[in-house]
Structure 1
Amino acid sequence: MSLSTGLYTENHGFTADYMWDRKTNFTFERGTGPNDTEDVWWDDAKAPLWYTAGKAGVDVHCYWFAHCHRVFYDMVVQVPEKRWANLDDPHQTDNLRDVFPEIVNRISKYQVYKQQMFLIRYANIGNAQKEHGPESDEVEQEVARFDLYINELQQKLEEANLFSSTNLVVMSDHGYTPLQKEEQFFMEQCLPDYSLVKKIVNSHSMIMVFTNPEDEGTVHYEFSVCEVWSPMGDYDENDTPFVKTYRMSELPEELHWKGSRFMSGVVLITKPGTSVVTKELPTVPHSGDPTIDAKQASGWEPTHDDMKGIFVARGPAFRENERFGPIEIVDVYQMLLNILSIEPAHPHNGTWGNVEHMLSEGWENRGPTENSSFRSSCTLLCFISVLLHFFF
């Protein structure tokens, strides 16, 4: 949601892929759970990128892009059901290259009448990383395949003479880091009384521990002094501990979690590569979920190298053959809207100074009437894919 709204977690309210609402006992499960469409998650949701673009008259098309098909306020993007995002289907985006002809044809046919935006999610690289681990043949094959697909798409756009009016963005919003089996810990080993915990939400990197208010101090203490993940042997006091235990009010400001509406009173944050899971406590996702046995995971501090994503772009809005950065994921929202000459729908956390030098000279200051024919033909193609940062 940070990409779609330009907001940090504490401001857009979607704390993690998995969430729990204490009042209703509803769980949120990556958009695929039985309660994921309930109003409790969406009532205070900020307008996403596709809603703002659609309200401005942009022709919006989504391919397997999470939540893009659901109604927001007074508008819905017409997304065929076969293109709804299903994060439980690892093969959903296998046919990526098959949609290229229809995308190119649509741009060619309609760009003289209105602006267009295509949001496309490609999941195969991330799925290969989680299932097979780093430096596996499967991951290398998926990266090579995606590279082939992007080259093929560029060729089709060039053949149709569309790159003078089409901006292509390829990005990943985060990376993955390998999980170390010798650094996997079970929460049950730290708790003498399981009944103190009402719900465990999330796993591996950031774990939310919900308790009754009167039990929060006890649970925080038990995890803080837990010997299971205490350092042993030749341990340097400057080393990062395997697990840090926080009260919500103690969470580091730079993580932007502290004010999130579905955050728990006790939070565990692990060292990158360290995993904390549960087998017996009530948990979301459930203990048999495939993500529990993943070989790689995400969710650690964005300053960790493995968590960094990529952003590459081509088109009239962008400078050529130059490198910039680093930028934050919240910086991208404002830039994508600027390409379409649309003002953000709400105050956001992005910093314009982080991205303005990526744009072509004069692009930021062009007005809607300054070159109305160009404005009407501007198309934005945005690919979102989770990639290993060191492949690029």
Structure 2
Amino acid sequence: MTKQHRIITLIAIVGMLSLNSCSSKLSPTTQKATTSNSESALKKPYVLLISLDGFRWDYVDKYRPPNLINFISKGVKAQSLIPSYPSKTFPNHYTIATGMYPDKHGIIGNIFYSYEKEATYNIRNREMAEDGSFYGGSPIWIEANKASMVTASYFFVGTEANIQGMSPTYYYKYDGSVKNETRVAQAVKWLKMPAKKRPHLVTMYFSDMDDAGHNFSPSNDEELKNKLLALDKNLGDLFKGIAATGLPVNIIIVSDHGMANQSIENLIPVDDIQNDSLFSTINNGSIVNIHPKDHIDTNDLLEDLKRKEHHFKVYKTEDTPGFENIPTNKDWGPLQLVPDLGYYFSTKKSIAARIEKNITTIGVHGFDTKYKDMHGIFYAKGPAFKKNYEIPAVKNIHIYPLMCRLLGLEIPEGIDGDLDQIKSVLTPLLNKEQD
């Protein structure tokens, strides 16, 4: 072998080693979504998880939607579904999907600062919403995928992201303009697919009640009832379509949070508190994360902010009320501003725009879950569930292990949810078979 050949061979070997090294680092992102059910997956039942964003615990009793009332009468219900704090949309949808509190799975707000990425996550930033590296835990569609089970989603937080290198087999990027009828028709089509390609887990999302609650406040009975009855018709069509397939589908209906009335007069302009030379703020309305600049002492800043308290309180993060466990995620920042009950943080620009439109009351959420207005719903029906059965209020962290049980999946270690807290909704036979 000539010297030139030896050099070329050495370069090739080094190149191959480099490629192999890169491949090992990137391997988690090269996995593919399951496209065909395994023989084991084919024998499993079906789970349809439906999220009705902003659907407060008392709306069914207040407005009497016929299809939901019929659904509940033939299945199970919780007196309410207790969200995780803060009771915001993205944190709680992802808690339902992972069985983890936001502090653990990392989506701690609709907006939050990531120290690791040195960037501010915002749900309105599509690139970030689809960046799987923000999302911790192992959502239910990922666990199903690992078990060679086909999955599908028509909008659900996290399903657009490449989490652990995977996404649902079939999914759509969020587009709020897509009509409910389109979502319903597609879900039924999925369940009519050939068995090998048919998803055993389907997640869906409807924003109707959240939109109405924010825009008109949850005290506007006329607007909320009209919106709910229209949504109820869509759900009725969905239930009929599923029944027509003859498949053993277990349907779970949840919401991420409730809704509270908020007077415009009691909005706190966060602009009056901000001081860019000392700290940055991440405002989620019901809680403001404070991130001091590198040269600022946290204790000094705490005392300075306390002198500005007016319809809000300042806390060290570990002392902040609302958290079930002491938060340890650095992305909260060391200090939190929490508005008094009946108050909410906003901006001067947003407040002025509402005043100009003569808006006096809106709907908000995100508060401590000890307030019942923050509670959502849990209803379920199907061959695995008891009929006409009610349980006390239950925490949303427990839905994840319940779905794992229904799909015959191993419940991952390290989650916050506990199947024992919710499994009474299942038929005795199912519990006996799998305990």
* Pick aligned residue for 2:182 from 90, 95, 98: 98
How big is each residue's C-alpha offset from its partner over 1:192-235, in whole Å with a ceiling of 9 and x where there is no partner? x55212x21123211111112524223322332325x2xxxxxx
The answer to whether structure 1 residue 132 and structure 2 residue 216 are counterparts is yes
Shift of 1:128: 1.6
* TM-aligned CA distance change 1:27 to 1:139, over 3 Å: same
* TM-aligned CA distance change 1:205 to 1:356, over 3 Å: same
* TM-aligned CA distance change 1:77 to 1:114, over 3 Å: closer
1:31–1:67 Cα contact (<8 Å) kept: no
Q: Distance in 2 between matches of 1:362 and 1:53?
A: 23
Q: Distance in 2 between matches of 1:289 and 1:124?
A: 23
The answer to whether structure 1 residue 260 and structure 2 residue 329 are counterparts is yes
Aligned to 2:138: 47
How big is each residue's C-alpha offset from its partner over 1:80-128, in whole Å with a ceiling of 9 and x where there is no partner? 5xx2125xx4x34xx2223334433432443488661110010121012
* TM-aligned CA distance change 1:156 to 1:201, over 3 Å: same
How big is each residue's C-alpha offset from its partner over 1:304-331, in whole Å with a ceiling of 9 and x where there is no partner? 1111010111101110001112111101
Q: Distance in 2 between matches of 1:217 and 1:353?
A: 42
2:250–2:380 Cα contact (<8 Å) kept: yes
| Range moving further from structure 2, 353-362 or 327-336 | 353-362
- Of structures 1 and 2, the larger Rg is shown by 2
Aligned to 2:61: none
* Pick aligned residue for 1:149 from 219, 234, 237: 234
The answer to whether structure 1 residue 202 and structure 2 residue 283 are counterparts is yes
2:305 counterpart letter in structure 1:
F
Shift of 1:24: 4.6
1:174 counterpart letter in structure 2:
H
Q: Provide the TM-score with structure 1 as the length reference.
A: 0.76
* 3-state SS of paired residue (1:363): helix
Shift of 1:298: 1.4
The answer to whether structure 1 residue 274 and structure 2 residue 343 are counterparts is yes
* TM-aligned CA distance change 1:56 to 1:203, over 3 Å: same
Q: Distance in 2 between matches of 1:345 and 1:185?
A: 42
Aligned to 2:151: 60
1:19–1:29 Cα contact (<8 Å) kept: yes
Q: Structure 1 residue runs of 4+, over 4 Å off?
A: 33-40, 111-115, 286-290
Q: Which structure shows the higher helix fraction?
A: 2
* TM-aligned CA distance change 1:31 to 1:97, over 3 Å: same
* Pick aligned residue for 1:5 from 98, 101, 112: 98
2:218 counterpart letter in structure 1:
P
Shift of 1:62: 0.5
Aligned length: 335
How big is each residue's C-alpha offset from its partner over 1:121-162, in whole Å with a ceiling of 9 and x where there is no partner? 101210121122223333222111111122222222333433
* 3-state SS of paired residue (1:276): strand
Shift of 1:59: 1.5
**Percent of paired sites with the same residue:** 17
Shift of 1:63: 0.4
2:150–2:197 Cα contact (<8 Å) kept: no
* Pick aligned residue for 1:27 from 120, 130, 135: 120
* 3-state SS of paired residue (2:225): helix
1:70–1:77 Cα contact (<8 Å) kept: no
The answer to whether structure 1 residue 297 and structure 2 residue 364 are counterparts is yes
Gaps of 5+ in 1: 230-241, 281-285, 369-392
Shift of 1:21: 2.6
* Pick aligned residue for 1:310 from 359, 373, 377: 377
Q: Distance in 2 between matches of 1:361 and 1:105?
A: 32
1:150 counterpart letter in structure 2:
L
Superposed counterparts of 1:210-359, under 5 Å: 210-212=291-293, 214-226=296-308, 229=310, 242-252=311-321, 254-256=323-325, 258-279=327-348, 295-359=362-426
* 3-state SS of paired residue (2:205): strand
| Range moving further from structure 2, 243-252 or 171-180 | 243-252
Q: Provide the TM-score with structure 2 as the length reference.
A: 0.69
How big is each residue's C-alpha offset from its partner over 1:363-390, in whole Å with a ceiling of 9 and x where there is no partner? 134259xxxxxxxxxxxxxxxxxxxxxx
Gaps of 5+ in 2: 1-93
Q: Distance in 1 between matches of 2:380 and 2:153?
A: 19
1:58–1:114 Cα contact (<8 Å) kept: no
1:134 counterpart letter in structure 2:
P
1:248–1:266 Cα contact (<8 Å) kept: yes
Aligned to 1:84: 173
1:179–1:275 Cα contact (<8 Å) kept: yes
Q: Distance in 2 between matches of 1:124 and 1:55?
A: 33
